[in-house]
Chains A and B, each alone.
Chain A
Amino acid sequence: MGTHGDGGVARRQFLRGLGATGAVLALPSLAAACGNSAAKSGGRSTGATSTLKVGVLTPLGGVFETVGKEMRNGFKLYLDTHGNKLGGRKVEVVTADEGKAPADATQAGQRLIFSDKVDFVVGVVTSADAVALRDLFDQAKVPLIISNANVTALSTTAKSPWVYRTSASFQQQGASAAKWFYDNVAKSDVWVMADDFVGGHDIAGAFTKAFADAGGKVADSVFTPFQKTTDFQPYLTRVRNGGAKGVFAFFGGSEAIAFVKQYRSFGLFDTIPIAGQGSLADSAVLPAEQDDAIGWRGTGNYYVPTLDNPTNARFREQYTGAFDEEPSYYACSSYDAGQLIDLALKKTGGKTSDADALVDALEHPGEFDSPRGQMTMDAATHNPAEHFYVYQDAKENGKIVSKVIADTGVFTQPTG
């Protein structure tokens, strides 16, 4: 039995067995369908000419499904516009569900590595999933290209030769906003509001430090229960009573929607200037925020669909043509995840068999032709060196559009 398709055969036989007899009795059929045993384990395909298998690991359901879909679309667009080839090899995509918790993600990751025997995996939305997957890929020596999860530690203390990121780290995003905020929003008595999770503290901490370096002063920080806050009123009252002259905020998903709406409906938008991480009013939440998003300024964005450069013009046209919606930064970084594999394999001549050469190629892929503009891989952090932009939402022809209002320059994840 060949390497390819084993997983599929096993799955079908298995489900049939399941229907008939229940799980335990079906295990032997699974065993029969899989060629070699664990005791004499076989490796992934390594030839330079055979089909390249790439796993795409994103949530197929739940509240992050939309993000997952944009990531799948972005990666698919890179393949579609490059003859379905990466590094000269034809690509077979295996889709897997990141699920709702790290245990789901590792289960799916194991299936991709050991059953589907993929050569690369791209995707991963949440930071906890990324951390949980890190050891698995590190040990199996299969490259994981993270195209969202922003957990800082994977670029610092938990860096692995086998884990790369094409999005950005939390600290990078927070630090990139500080100088611009000082020049354009407020200089002192600034309050920071964020979700009480590691990413919230990373962004808030990096912002606070860089803001002090720029000459500003953060008065206080407010952290709200992670993924449990629907009502921001007590926090907003606290900020107002504290005499804030400016607010830097970071929320995402349904909390971003609630925050943006409530910041306006409790009357703070017109009295206390605010700006914050781009997820507050990005493509995932804009349809829900509607007019409440008008005027919002989002910082720390490595990509905004309205960026003016030739690569983005092409990317945006192709993406809207294929999927009938504006590309998001999730789509951009997943497009570039495909590009990273492509660039690296071109350096190794399509081979994945030489681990050292593959790692070296992933660390030094050269200049990207990215819709986000200038971008390189920072070999020290496995995280991009890239520009960060500030957008402001405005209404044009009945639609809310994020317009680029500033380029805050190139940032990398700070080391040490």
Chain B
Amino acid sequence: MGARVRRRAPVAVLCLVLLVVLAAAPYTLAVYPLKVLTEVLIYVIFAMSLDLLFGYTGLASLGHALYFGVGGYTAGLLAVHYTPSALVGLGAGLGAGAVSAVATGWLAIRSRSVYFIMLTLAFSELAFSVATSWRSLTGGDQGLIGIQPASLPGGTRFNGVLNLPTFYYYVAIVAVACYLLMRLVVRSPFGLSLLGIRENEARMRSLGYPVFRYKLAAYVVAGAFAGLAGSLYVQYSDFVSPDYIGFELSALVLVMVMVGGAGTLYGAVLGSAFVVVLRDELSAAFQQWEAVLGAVFIAFVYFLPSGLAGLVRLAGGLGRGRAGRGGGGSTGSGPGPAASDVDLTATAEANR
């Protein structure tokens, strides 16, 4: 018991420090870095939602931007035609993400491994074509024109410049809430069953788990959070275009999760911050920044196979008892970081 407290204390302190840093940001950061931080927080939600699917359930999707974009278009269309209310947009984005994830996930999770990846890619590409060709609704390739500045709780309007600190707090609170909610999900019996499915689907099935329904539920939860992130992003930028659904964004968020370290949630936080800021800084510094970015990815594969989360574990000695790396999820094979995973399957069993 005592050892447990001692081990947990630094984590609690770290969390507190992070919260204070987040709360103080508008007072310490200039406009531009605060905007970058706001954007990072939105990507954090998006990346965590994919981690739920990829890291915890073992379903690597290459079409996750579909739900981000659907949430974004929903919030954007509401703000053009009905109401600028940020909370309404947020809720609608969440709902739209969930609904579209039910419709597509139901078909996608019948496939496995690379076929699953390709089917998710196909759905997002089809949605991309819909967004491009349904010009009367979406504005086509040029994007949606006329999105009103978001009206935040308390009545302040965020227009990209004015009231940025208020908007930042709104995003920060939503992001922290999303983190806590997703943490709750992954630690629930449901979440542990997902880990069991990731590690040994056949065994979970033979134990009587309705594996298909569990996977679909994970897919829908992930889609809902992605939709919410998309609606936030549209409120942040007053703009949405088919690129928000496209392959490049899907690949980018998958890279964020892998670079951060899949199957940890906080890895997704680190990964999205790292990739957003690195891209931003590199593109301002080099013309050939994409090649440099590629080299960084290669270095990660060789030298940080567990991502930034692995680095944190290494530094903080926090590794024990946590969920193993999820990168192997797509293969569904290999003992991987065996001890903890076996425990988890057992726990899932016990929790039934």
Contact = CB atoms under 8 A, between A and B. Distances in A.
Do A and B come into direct contact in the complex, CB within 8 Å?
Answer: yes
Interface stretch (B86-94, B132-140, B221-229, B317-325): B132-140
B126 to A, nearest CB: 12
B164 interface: yes
B270 A103 contact: no
B248 A100 contact: yes
Interface in A76-111: 96-97, 99-104, 106-108, 110-111
Interface stretch (B5-13, B281-289, B343-351): B281-289
B253 interface: no
A110 B32 contact: yes
Nearest to B286: A60
A138 to B, nearest CB: 8
Interface in B17-60: 21, 25-35, 37, 39
A136 B28 CA distance: 23
A131 B239 contact: yes
B139 A135 contact: no
Contact of B281 (A18, A128, A140): A18
A5 B32 CA distance: 14
A18 B160 contact: no
Contacts of B342: none
Nearest to B132: A226
Contact of B285 (A11, A39, A100, A198): A11
Interface in A190-230: 196-199, 201, 225-226
B283 A108 contact: yes
A63 interface: no
A4 to B, nearest CB: 14
A61 B291 CA distance: 11
Contacts of B31: 38, 41, 114-115
A22 B284 contact: no
Nearest to B308: A22
B331 interface: no
B129 interface: yes
Given A15-B285, A39-B27, A107-B280, A127 B33 contact: no
B102 interface: no
B165 interface: yes
Nearest to A10: B33
Interface string B261-290: 000000001100110111011011101111
A128 B143 contact: yes
A153 interface: yes
B165 A38 contact: yes
B146 A158 contact: yes
Interface stretch (A24-32, A231-239, A242-250, A295-303): A24-32
A199 B162 CA distance: 32
B238 interface: yes
Contacts of A310: none
A104 B28 contact: no
Interface in A1-37: 7, 10-11, 14-15, 18, 22-24, 26-28, 30-31, 34-37
B231 interface: no
Contacts of A103: 237, 243-244, 249
A132 B160 contact: no
A196 to B, nearest CB: 6
Contacts, number: 170
Interface residues of A, number: 57
Nearest to A141: B161
Given A22-B274, A139-B159, A198-B135, A11 B281 contact: yes
Interface core residue of A24, A99, A106, A196 (most chain B CB under 10 Å): A24
B193 interface: no
Interface core residue of B27, B132, B239 (most chain A CB under 10 Å): B239
Contact of A30 (B33, B129, B145, B239): B33
Contacts of B149: 139
B281 A197 contact: no
A23 B248 contact: no
A132 B273 contact: no
Interface in B163-196: 164-165, 168
B307 to A, nearest CB: 11
A270 to B, nearest CB: 33
B241 interface: yes
B287 A14 contact: no
A331 interface: no
Interface of B: 21, 25-35, 37, 39, 129, 132-133, 135, 139-143, 145-147, 149, 159-162, 164-165, 168, 237-239, 241, 243-244, 246, 248-249, 269-270, 273-274, 276-278, 280-281, 283-285, 287-290, 308, 311
Given A22-B270, A115-B33, 9 more contacts: A30-B29, A38-B164, A106-B237, A108-B284, A128-B141, A132-B237, A140-B161, A197-B132, A198-B135
17 contacts: A14-B281, A22-B274, A26-B277, A27-B21, A28-B28, A36-B30, A96-B284, A97-B284, A99-B283, A101-B243, A108-B283, A108-B284, A111-B32, A132-B241, A135-B147, A136-B237, A199-B142
Interface of A: 7, 10-11, 14-15, 18, 22-24, 26-28, 30-31, 34-39, 41, 60-61, 96-97, 99-104, 106-108, 110-111, 114-115, 127-128, 131-132, 135-136, 139-140, 151, 153, 157-158, 196-199, 201, 225-226
Report, nearest first, the 5 A-B pairs whose CB atoms are least far apart.
Answer: A34-B30, A115-B32, A114-B32, A101-B243, A114-B31
